[in-house]
Amino acid sequence: MSFSEDKTRMTEYMKERPLDEWEDEAAVEEFFCFLDRLAEQAKEDSSYCAILSDAYLKAGDPLKAKEAFARGYNPKNKKDIKKLMSFDSWKANPVTRPSEKAGELPDFTYVSGKLLKNKFVRKKDGVCCICNKSRTAFYVGAAFTDTSEKINFLNTEDQFCADCIRNGAAAEKFKITFNDPYLQDITVVDDDKKDELLKKTPECSLAFDFDEDMWPCCCGDFCRYEEYDGTYEETFTFRCRHCGKETVWTKMT
């Protein structure tokens, strides 16, 4: 394909809904193949760097997007300088390439493992920095520091596995919580259950990006996040771990 055709195709991709909301994994994999080709083209032709930068943004990776854009921007162009500075504040959910997704994940107390496939990747040469386990699923989702700053582990050198989240070792080592710290303020749930949700449960931002400080509660406990369906409109299903009552949230797409 020509440069103009690649640019037009990327423009169309940017108009579509966020990549982490796509349900067709074949289409997502096709996008990443397109991204790979742009990366190869950018090595030979710097004019591809801006397109590649947009592709990384679409994939939820602002760090690589900034690196790509920096290779081809015009330092005398005010618009280019402004865009280069904008990457640091870009908010995005990193998207896991289908071919790199982790296999079966452990279930967590407050979320089903089947809903966490985009939060973990399997790396052949990776080693967990906490338990030293290799060839396992590593976390690439987000977390909050003790100052409530949101960070993500997509491009960090520190790699840790699902088991080290579930047993609390990752939260202890990095002094982080995986879900919104404001959940700590919910008074109907005791501290042990709050620690389980905040420190031993991977990030569930897809369900809470429109109401981050809430989580359904019932019978003095947090409900379990069990199902997501984005077929017609986004629905998030929670179930009480004690009485079985179901709570369904709906977000129009």
- Beta pairing partners, 101: 121
Q: Which helix (H) or strand (E) holds 65?
A: helix 62-72
Answer yes or no: is 82 within a domain.
Answer: yes
Q: Is 138 exposed, middle or buried (0-12, 13-18, 19+ CB in 10 A)?
A: buried
Task: Write out pLDDT tens, residues 175-196.
Answer: 999 988 888 888 889 999 999 9
Count of C-beta atoms within a 10 Å radius of residue 181: 17
Please state, in angstroms and rounded to a whole number, the distance separating the CA atoms of residues 126 and 159: 8
Give the pLDDT confidence score for residue 238 in this predicted structure.
94
Per the structure, the complete domain to which residue 189 belongs is given by 101-251
Task: Name which of 36-40, 143-147, 229-233 the model is least confident about.
Answer: 229-233
Count of C-beta atoms within a 10 Å radius of residue 29: 14
| Domain match, 113 and 195 both | yes
Count of C-beta atoms within a 10 Å radius of residue 216: 19
> What's the start-to-end Cα distance of the chain, in Å?
32
| Domain match, 125 and 61 both | no
Please state, in angstroms and rounded to a whole number, the distance separating the CA atoms of residues 52 and 58: 10
For the sheet with 234-239, list strands across it: 224-229, 234-239, 246-251
| Domain match, 109 and 80 both | no
Domain's final residue, options 89, 123, 154: 89
| Contact of 200 with 163, CB cutoff 8 Å | no
Give the pLDDT confidence score for residue 249 in this predicted structure.
86
Domain's final residue, options 64, 89, 114: 89
| Domain match, 73 and 168 both | no
Residues 6+ apart with CB under 8 A from 251: 210, 233, 234, 235, 236
| % of the chain with per-residue pLDDT over 70 | 96
Give the pLDDT confidence score for residue 157 in this predicted structure.
83
Please state, in angstroms and rounded to a whole number, the distance separating the CA atoms of residues 65 and 134: 29
| Domain match, 67 and 183 both | no
How many domains is the chain built from?
2
Question: How does the average pLDDT of the chain come out, rounded?
Answer: 87
Task: Write out pLDDT tens, residues 105-131.
Answer: 888 999 988 888 888 988 777 899 999
| Contact of 105 with 162, CB cutoff 8 Å | yes
| Domain match, 134 and 226 both | yes
Is this structure's pTM higher than 0.95?
no
Domain's final residue, options 89, 113, 147: 89
